[in-house]
Structure 1
């Protein structure tokens, strides 16, 4: 066989290999497709980062989730509740003081988490560590970064709410076992209703000048004290009751008391309570997304 004949035999194989190779357009389309894949689950990647970052203060989360319920419940069950012999009566239902206070403490626990996760971590993402800009340089959209922050904080709230509810059951603070566990979801909703608007505010701050300390002192504390947490809201003078009316803590607590011990609530008021919490969450999320998009576009 001559060399020419051998070359003729190799030509079909070489031609086939050339045909099998993808074109430049096909490679570009494949690269774009793979580039779009992270964006489809982008919010979950940000959530994963936020949850992994919590490992740096994991013991704080564990102590807060377990230690806080023990301290509050021991203080109320052994201390304050022992001094209050008369039951608390609302809507024709009489319950012990511990049962009355328990739902409010549950809602407060997730709102406290929201006041932590939606303030300084958001500020760090934009100003101190600037990792939001790193996220934004990848195939992640600004709205997915905001959503991931919300999901990460909600995961921590869920852990705290489950732990707190478990202790409430152990202390006998939830008489209605069948529906009491549903208050876990209300607690997470309460945390989001308070925290997502706070996230939008934190994302808008360019420089830390003590704004978050002011939120703690003049928003969180008055809400905690004057939202029917330790006594029925109706016992307050009218000029203080408005704090409870605009507080997500009061609305969530009213739903929690309905679930944990069957406190009567008019259907219209129940709709108002749920509607207010959902409205705060949705409006805060829309504002937060816009602020994230505007600031990350700079």
Structure 2
């Protein structure tokens, strides 16, 4: 029979737990998010394994044949079209997943399944909620990015180990997209259909106007500005340099990284501010 715990001991245990939560709150939030993903892990794995091969094989080989015939066998952007397209497929998928996770998941955390409101009664801070949730999104995207890279290898697009650089670039893009979207979604108090705006009027146009399926320079100058402000274009251009050594000036490489980091930083600050306001902290 264990001795009864005194009131002083219980208080000490509670204080220790509160201090641990204040220190590791971001990890507890990430753990909760990762555990919540188990409810759709079957669909996640199925789509995560099938989609990369279908996109690379379908869009890549099918569209590549048409483009190569139209180009008379000439390279696109300094590379075979399939190689040119590969980074866009990897990074475009990462952007779309990050936006979806940060839209419905964040809004639902305030309205449908108010887990963030429950966390408010604990020592977890709004900043830890944002960081922990974003880590969960990174965990959601990383396996798909790895499978995309594997598909690129297996289908013979490239045999170079440089393709591995697409994974950290994808994670940086996730931060640049997920954090601003998190700030926007946390600001929404009612669902009037506006949650579809990100998918229909942000991620989809960015897929079309960010130099993904064709070089950005081929667009009219009046439309190229969309790519210049698009985190996807900066990530894809960086990915092409990393994958096959596309000719990108050093100043532009630095700009790509700076823009992605800038999106992530501003998004983080904005998301934390909105979380604090919503939680009245």
Assess same fold via TM > 0.5. yes
After superposition, where does 1:244-263 map in structure 2 within 5 Å? 244-263=227-246
The reply on whether 1:87 has 2:74 as its aligned counterpart is yes
Find 1:207's aligned residue among 157, 166, 190. Answer: 190
Q: CA deviation at 1:297?
A: 1.7
SS at match of 1:84: helix
Q: How many residues align?
A: 273
Q: CA deviation at 1:169?
A: 1.3
Partner of 1:35: 18
Partner of 2:135: 151
Quote the RMSD (CA, aligned, Å).
1.8
Give TM-score scaled by structure 2 length.
0.92
Partner of 1:13: none
- In 2: Cα distance, 1:202 partner to 1:152 partner: 16
Q: CA deviation at 1:133?
A: 1.1
Gaps of 5+ in 1: 1-20
- In 2: Cα distance, 1:124 partner to 1:49 partner: 14
Find 1:133's aligned residue among 89, 96, 117. Answer: 117
Partner of 1:63: 46
Give TM-score scaled by structure 1 length.
0.87
Q: CA deviation at 1:268?
A: 0.4
Structure 1 residues 241-275: Cα deviation after superposition (integer angstroms, max 9, x where no partner): 11111111100000100011110111100010000
Structure 1 residues 64-97: Cα deviation after superposition (integer angstroms, max 9, x where no partner): 311211211111343111223323343xx3x211
Find 2:202's aligned residue among 208, 211, 219. Answer: 219
- 8 Å CA contact 2:25–2:129 kept in 1: the answer is yes
SS at match of 1:65: helix
Q: CA deviation at 1:29?
A: 5.0
Decide which structure has the larger Cα Rg and report it.
1
Partner of 2:176: 193
Partner of 2:274: 291
- In 2: Cα distance, 1:37 partner to 1:269 partner: 43
The reply on whether 1:120 has 2:109 as its aligned counterpart is no
SS at match of 2:210: coil
Q: CA deviation at 1:22?
A: 8.6
Gaps of 5+ in 2: none
- 8 Å CA contact 2:209–2:216 kept in 1: the answer is yes
Structure 1 residues 163-201: Cα deviation after superposition (integer angstroms, max 9, x where no partner): 1111111122235x2322011000111122111100000
Partner of 1:11: none
Q: CA deviation at 1:225?
A: 0.5
Q: Which runs of 4+ in 1 moved over 4 A?
A: 21-24, 26-30
Partner of 1:10: none
- In 2: Cα distance, 1:278 partner to 1:209 partner: 32
- In 2: Cα distance, 1:264 partner to 1:190 partner: 21
- In 2: Cα distance, 1:31 partner to 1:97 partner: 60
SS at match of 2:144: helix
Partner of 1:243: 226
Q: CA deviation at 1:131?
A: 1.1
